[in-house]
Amino acid sequence: MDKIEFYKMSGSGNDFIIIDNRRNSIDETGLSDLIARVCRRKMAVGADGFILVENADMADFKWRFFNSDGSIAEMCGNGARCVARFAHLNGIAGPNMSFETLAGIVEAQIIGNRVKVKMTDPTEFKTDDTLDLKNGPVTISSINTGVPHVVIVKERIDNADIVEMGREIRFHERFSPAGTNVNVVCHMADNTIAIRTYERGVEDETLACGTGSAAGAIVMAHKMKIGSPINVQTKSGGYLSIFYREKEGRYYDIYLEGDARIIYKAQLWEDAWKE
C-alpha cells in the first residue's frame, strides 16, 4: 500500500488511529496483523483502537472498529465520540449525525470539541451475582452496553489490582468464548463515581472506556439510586457524563458525553507495519 493518511485522536485518554476508507484504499489482506502492528506503542503509532470510516446505506457513514490486537469489537463509546468529530471535521457528516456499527445505528452530536453520543440500550443486565476466583468469590454485576462488561463495586479503587483480576475475569469460563471487559467502580460524592477498566482486546488497563463508564454508571444508578447525569472520573483524570432514563428497572436513552481531542494528522509509512 501507499502511505496512509490518518488522524490520531483521544477521548478521555482512550487513543485511536482513524482512517477515511470510503474509497477502499486499505488492503484487506492481513488487515488484523497490520492493525496490531501499527497499534504497537514505541514500535509504531500506538493506540487502544483502530477505526475505518466507510460508506453506508442507512446512515452518514459506517465504521469498522478494531481493538489494538486486531480483533473486531462491536462498539466503543470513546471511539464513537472521536470518529464523530473526525467525520464532522472532514465534511463526511454534519454536527448531528448517525453511523452504522455492529451494535446498531449510533447517533452523535458535536458540541465544540466535545461529542455526545446515544448508546445502544443496555441488555443482559444482572446484579449481585457471585463469581468464583482464585482468591475467593467476588460479587459482580454484568451488563452489555454495546459490548459485555462486568462491574465490581468497591469502597475504593486506587488499590485494586485491575490487571490481574481483570484478566482472570475476562478469560473466565463463565464468559467464554467471547470474554468480557471488567470494571471496578466506587462512589465519590453526589452524582460522581470513579472507575478503572480492564479492556478485552487491549488486554490491559486503559485510561478510559466509554462503554465501561456507561456500564459502571448504570450499575451505580441501580444500586445507589444516583440520578442522571452521572459524572464518571476515569483513570486519565478526565470526566465522562452519562445520561439515562429508567422505568421499572429498565435503563434506556443512554447518552455518553465527553471530549474528543485531535492529537495529530499524519501519514503511516510501510515501516509502521513491517515485522
**Cα separation of 104 and 122, whole Å?**
12
CATH homologous superfamily for the domain 4-113+261-272: Diaminopimelate Epimerase; Chain A, domain 1 (3.10.310.10)
What's the pLDDT tens digit per position in 24-51? 999 899 999 999 999 999 999 999 999 9
Terminal C-alpha separation, the chain: 15
Can you tell me the mean pLDDT for 95-100? 97
Answer CATH for 123-258 from 2.40.10.480, 3.60.150.10, 3.40.50.300, 3.10.310.10: 3.10.310.10
Q: Is the pLDDT of residue 1 over 80?
A: no
Task: Count other Cβ atoms within 10 Å, centred on residue 192.
Answer: 14
pLDDT tens per residue across span 185-237: 999 999 999 999 999 999 999 999 999 999 999 999 999 999 999 999 999 99
Please provide the size of the chain in residues.
275
Instruction: List the catalytic residues.
Output: 76, 209
CA distance 21 to 54: 5
Are residues 185 and 153 in contact, defined by beta-carbon separation less than 8 angstroms? yes
Q: What angle do CA 217, 180, 241 make, to 5 degrees?
A: 20
